[in-house]
Amino acid sequence: MKVAILGATGYTGLELLRVLSNHPNAQITVATSQRYAGKKLVDLFPFFKNELALTPLDYDLIANNADIIFTALPQQVSMEIIPELLRHKKRIIDLSADFRLKRPEVYEAWYGPHKAKELIDEAVYGLPEIYREHIKNAYLVANPGCYPTGVILALAPLLKYIREDSIVVDAKSGVSGAGRGLKLSSLFCEVNEGMQAYKVAAHRHIPEMEQELSKLAGKDIRITFVPHLIPISRGMFVTAYAPLKGKLDSKQAYQIMSEYYQGESFVKVLLPPQIPQTLHVRGTNECHLGVKVDERTNHIIAMAAIDNLGKGASTQAIQSMNLMARLPEATGLEHLPLFL
């Protein structure tokens, strides 16, 4: 299976290159970069053995040399490129937010003008644990955001047991979540030995989380969401708090979550009192979940640890690629974490 990666030198593009280089059924045939076009991957990143030269965007080159295309490009750039690729009858996994939101007016309120509204209904939300069968036949998969992946997986099994009007989510992300571009807030001296909240109750992933949780619940869900930047390169920890409708204890909550994800390759529900850790999922496609009921306040606390570049981005996209190619879902994704 021939694979193209558009935007190969950003963090998510590099993670796609790293994991797909060892995928037994994938051959990387095209990798694009506007900035580094003409240079070999191995010259820029000596840890790669691939002698492939980076190219500028060339629709014919991509269409003639790839079966599946990953677009690891910024928001509002993907939507300009994907329509032409679909006209070439290519299957696409888009890692931007351009096709995640189903209502154009919601997208435009949070991101800006949408130039490919005709494709929104065609796109399948690429969370395999929820939309596995839809992904298999899709031509356009909208890979979920990192925060939504952790939040949705943590809350999905619990929606029928919690009050939907008082969900609070606290989430912490490593610095790679901000991308590879140079910005003051990502500089070492600005991040090291500190922690800060940002975009409080105003993060662009909020409508994506609410859209998908509302679908699963069958009713309108609203959340209060506060993300934080922490001084690690990769990793994400989500803690969601919600009041219970009735009575549950931690053992029952664990059983609910375990049954919901029974048979899933990449979601592991930890037995209380175990707590997920970002180091245990670093560099993998896994999501580790934990749950605790505070019986004193009758609130449930759901926790999720993922790698924001892995299950929160690139390896989840490869999981969808496996489904689209009718391969075993875990193909090329069963490596151990980078614990140290």
Q: Catalytic residue numbers?
A: 146
Q: CA separation (Å) from 12 to 103, 142, 202, 245?
A: 26, 14, 24, 39
Q: Which of 293, 287, 286 is nearest to 272 (CA)?
A: 293
Handedness of CA 11, 317, 332, 312 (dihedral sign): positive
The C-alpha atoms of residue 294 and residue 84 are separated, in whole angstroms, by: 52
Q: CA separation (Å) from 278 to 85, 247, 286, 304?
A: 36, 30, 10, 9
- Residue ranges with strand state E in 230-284: 236-243, 267-269
Joined tokens for residue 72: 């690891």
Handedness of CA 75, 52, 23, 304 (dihedral sign): negative
| DSSP string of 74-121, one letter each residue | -TTTHHHHHHHHHHTT-EEEE-SSTTT-S-HHHHHHHT---S-GGGTT
